[in-house]
Chain A
């Protein structure tokens, strides 16, 4: 059974804090993604990584950074959390190949107060 696991289901952080969201996959996938899910806006791509130490900006990278030191782990970092970053964050992984399925983590609901 394939697994993408996010470290926290719920997080509450204060404005200005540095926040780390962790994601681990056990499928040896090359590609990993961080999406943000907001009502009416769908899934918006923040950052993605196609290999260890490689990263690319998605559509909404401002205020975020990422780290991929190991193939199975992809971290999303909020450098200085703000209230407009309150959202559901979804990690996904996908193997190489144009027609492959993406597998999602269970999501982390982050509230910044």
Chain B
């Protein structure tokens, strides 16, 4: 089955810096890759996603890139702000007829003022 690895597990940056979180997946048939943000004490919420036929997608300060050949995808946050502090999860959706999501282990991002 699909396996998703996520790095780093923790990331500390200064406000205004960029942050990059990387994920690799194992199932070449996976074709949908969302990123979820979970603030402390709250539920995970989708922040951006990318489909396998797209190499890059951007939404204001966040962007996601996908390399299907290497089976990895990354989240990029520019001009980080303290409110970006949260746990970020990547996920992959195998094309097996079930719409399940397999998640990575999460990255705790801390943005210091």
A22 to B89, CA, bound (A): 24
The size of the chain B interface, using a CB distance under 8 A, is 25
| A98 and B104 contact, CB distance less than 8 A | no
Q: A42-B106, A59-B1, A105-B43 are in contact. Are A94 and B6 (CB under 8 A)?
A: no
Interface of chain B residues 20 through 53 with chain A (CB within 8 A) = 31-32, 34, 42-46, 49, 51
Chain B residue at minimum C-beta to C-beta distance from A107:
B43
Contacts of A58 in B (CB 8 A): 100
A33 to B36, CA, bound (A): 16
Cβ of B78 under 8 Å from chain A: no
| Contacts across chains A and B counted by CB atoms under 8 Å | 65
Q: Shortest distance in angstroms between B5's beta carbon and chain A's nearest beta carbon?
A: 10
A102 to B46, CA, bound (A): 8
| A31 and B1 contact, CB distance less than 8 A | no
Q: Shortest distance in angstroms between A32's beta carbon and chain B's nearest beta carbon?
A: 10
Contact of A42 among B34, B93, B99, B104 (CB under 8 A): B104
A31 to B93, CA, bound (A): 13
Per-position contact with B for A80-113: 1 when CB-CB < 8 Å, else 0? Answer: 0000000000101011111111101111000000
